[in-house]
Structure 1
Amino acid sequence: MPDLADATTAPAAAPSSDLFQPVGPTPDDVATRMVAMLLGAQEVLAVHAGDRLGWYRTLAQDGPTTSVDLARATGTHERYAREWLEHQAVAGFVTVDDDRAAAHERRYALTPGAAEVLTDHDSELFLGPLARMQVASLRAVDHLLDAYRTGGGVPWAALGADARESQAAVNRPFFLGSFVEEVVPAIPELHAHLSRGARVADVGCGEGWSSIAIARAFPGATVVGLDVDEPSVAAATRNAAAHGLADRVSFRGGDAAGAVGAFDVVTAFECVHDMPDPVGVLRAARAMVHDDGFVLVMDERTQERFTAPAGHVERLFYGYSLGVCLPDGMSQEGSVGTGTVMRPDVLAGYAQDAGFSGVEVLDVENDFFRFYRLVG
């Protein structure tokens, strides 16, 4: 993932009082930022089109190509393919061999950086699918506004395949790569459990890449993935079979709070903040694990307390909270309404209410995720 942890885009506001107004960006600053936001929004839609229509994939596979050849290869209309190529060229994602040539004769090529970020599904910099998540949220904007007015929600399932596939595609290289290669070895007790052939319950498994990664890296481990989203469970089952792991990785639909069985390890990757009843699920996790077992929670690496303005990462988390996670969590009656920006003290409170004796923040370096062990 890119290093955005220390980036900021606005000056810190001075303390407010009845005597003066807080210092902030000037109207020109705000106007400049609005134009940048508009450009970003337009480019997200163009990235989504290039992803879904196969334009990026074809450019990466076939090399420099004309709009005529790109349209023919992807079954799309040449005039739109040409406009998209020109847009991508002015945006800097592709190069053009001769900008003075006739429009239909110009040859375009993906830059190496764009090729990795937008087409290499094995790279941890593969972020192109994030456009799908944003588009899924935009499609639901009227429902989101209704939720903001009424206190209702927009469930994950309502965002459709774009949201589900986006999250899975972006997390896949992390789980198959640095999670098992760097994160797990940095947690010796967890590594020991998995190396001995642990039985693992993976709560909120999505399309299954965390479960599959554990089973691939630790041949003695067996994993049961649990998720309330049935299309995710179906996709996870297919993914495990495609990796030849159906004998050691299985998936179940339904609430983790209803799961039974004894496990050596229970994991919850980037899902506790979405849960309408996190205490109930964590209580179930505590019941599911052996007394000497390991409960691992991975969630967003938020600031430890609210401060504003903040950097890009915190802004990103709040954006996803407004558009995806908080409305999903609020879609069930009685939800605690956590949202993406779940700070460590909030998780500690949930864990305590679930019967755990403590929460340990693990010494794992990651710009986007924080890792916790729930104790006792």
Structure 2
Amino acid sequence: MSSATIATPQIDGAKLHDFMLKAVGDMGASMHGVLILLGDRLGLYKAMADSKPITSTELASRTKTSERYIREWLNANAASGYVTYDPATKSYTLPPEQAVVLAMEHGPAFLPGAFEIVLSCFNDVDKIEEAFRTGKGVGWHEHHHALYHGVERFFRPGYLMNLTTNWIPALTGVEQKLRDGAKVADIGCGLGASTILMAKAFPNSEFYGFDYHDASIAMAREAAKREGIGDRLHFEVASAKNYPGKDYDFVAFFDCLHDMGDPKGAAAYVHSTMKPDGTWMIVEPYAEDATEGNLNPVGRVFYTASTMICVPASLSQEVGAALGAQAGEKRIGEVVTAGGFKNFHRATQTPFNLVYEARA
């Protein structure tokens, strides 16, 4: 071994200081995520949703919780910018903008479900560490149960805001087919939020939701019963390459194609189950084709989720293509056309999603 001195990189003190502040901010955000979960579970944000000032004593009384814990929780939320604090009255307020995000579960911007996904990631860190070492996958069904509820609650607001009002109308002739009466398959339906929303919007159509995860299908069936639409909505355990039925007018994949081990095989199977004039809608996370185009706050979330959930899911299956959540339009298009579809294009988009239309 050489005895030569290894040169130490010169440190820029100002850059070090700025990065430390960033890291401390990330540390605070990570820890505060737990308090968001508690606020959601205990109904604390909902109890403040009127955006009127409230003291820790009043909030504790309103939610039947301990005042001392509530006081500390409120101060953490005030330090994080989630609530405001008035020192003159020692009261706290949840501003209306924060209330939309934190308290209005059926609104367009509800976010606490995302922190359930974060909870599952922390619970699954040992499994993912082992996957890093071995290169093996971790199946969707192997994750902490918080993932399934978190994903459903996180994606549902986007579906409520866009699915029947923007995404489906952007597809060629699909909305009219659904109004007249169509046969629809929702693949990778999870807990059924997307399937149920479509079934309620288009009562003349028949809907089939498929997912390989039996526990999710059981919860989807219960949700359909609660909505009173079980007669037109059928949930079954099946994968993207063996779901039953033929002659579908419309097939939908919501944020799941990139998770699949064999997405090209799935595309070919979809092609084989559709009517000649059928449409396949593929909803994917927003992504540019070039890596550098995704190095932003949204890309940060999606790349992190992809590391913990999407790539492990794909690597646990046959082929293991591991497209990742930031696959981009070019790679998705290659998958779709390899499955036999001749027409593929971006139909519409949001800041968080790309919506593709594929036709035979």
Q: Distance in 2 between matches of 1:344 and 1:210?
A: 22
Name which of 101, 120, 129 aligns with 2:104.
120
Amino acid at match of 2:100: E
Q: Distance in 2 between matches of 1:134 and 1:114?
A: 20
Equivalent pair of 2:286/2:352 in contact (CA under 8 Å):
yes
Name which of 247, 264, 267 aligns with 1:279.
264
Equivalent pair of 1:303/1:314 in contact (CA under 8 Å):
no
Q: Which runs of 5+ in 1 are unaligned?
A: 1-24
2:233 maps to what in 1?
249
Q: Does 1:157 align with 2:141?
A: yes
Give the match's secondary structure for 2:327. coil
Q: Does 1:294 align with 2:279?
A: yes
Structure 1 pair 90–27 and aligned structure 2 pair: CA distance change class (3 A): closer
State the shift of 1:231 in Å.
Answer: 2.1
Structure 1 pair 270–359 and aligned structure 2 pair: CA distance change class (3 A): same
Equivalent pair of 1:175/1:210 in contact (CA under 8 Å):
yes
Q: Does 1:92 align with 2:81?
A: yes
State the shift of 1:271 in Å.
Answer: 0.4
Equivalent pair of 2:51/2:95 in contact (CA under 8 Å):
no
Equivalent pair of 1:202/1:267 in contact (CA under 8 Å):
yes
Q: Distance in 2 between matches of 1:146 and 1:75?
A: 42
Give the match's secondary structure for 1:51. helix
Normalised to the residue count of structure 1, the TM-score between the two structures is: 0.85
**Higher relative contact order (CA closer than 8 Å, sequence separation 6+):** 1
Q: Does 1:54 align with 2:43?
A: yes
* Greater Cα offset, 35-44 or 136-145: 35-44
1:205 maps to what in 2?
189
Give the match's secondary structure for 1:129. helix
2:24 maps to what in 1?
35
2:7 maps to what in 1?
none
1:337 maps to what in 2?
322
Q: Does 1:143 align with 2:127?
A: yes
Give the RMSD, CA atoms, in angstroms: 2.2
1:261 maps to what in 2?
245
Normalised to the residue count of structure 2, the TM-score between the two structures is: 0.88
Q: Distance in 1 between matches of 2:15 and 2:286?
A: 31
Q: Distance in 2 between matches of 1:267 and 1:62?
A: 39
* Greater Cα offset, 27-36 or 336-345: 27-36
The alignment of Structure 1 onto Structure 2 pairs a total of residues equal to 346
Give the match's secondary structure for 1:92. coil
Give the match's secondary structure for 1:261. coil
Equivalent pair of 2:182/2:204 in contact (CA under 8 Å):
yes
Which residues of 2 match residues 98-117 of structure 1 at below 5 A?
A: 99=87, 106-117=90-101
Q: Which runs of 5+ in 2 are unaligned?
A: 1-13
Q: Distance in 1 between matches of 2:191 and 2:222?
A: 9
State the shift of 1:168 in Å.
Answer: 0.9
State the shift of 1:331 in Å.
Answer: 2.4
Q: Distance in 2 between matches of 1:309 and 1:329?
A: 21
String of CA shifts for 1:77-107, please: whole Å, max 9, x gaps. 433222111211222222345x366xxxx44
Equivalent pair of 1:300/1:369 in contact (CA under 8 Å):
yes
String of CA shifts for 1:286-325, please: whole Å, max 9, x gaps. 1111111111111112012222672222222111111221
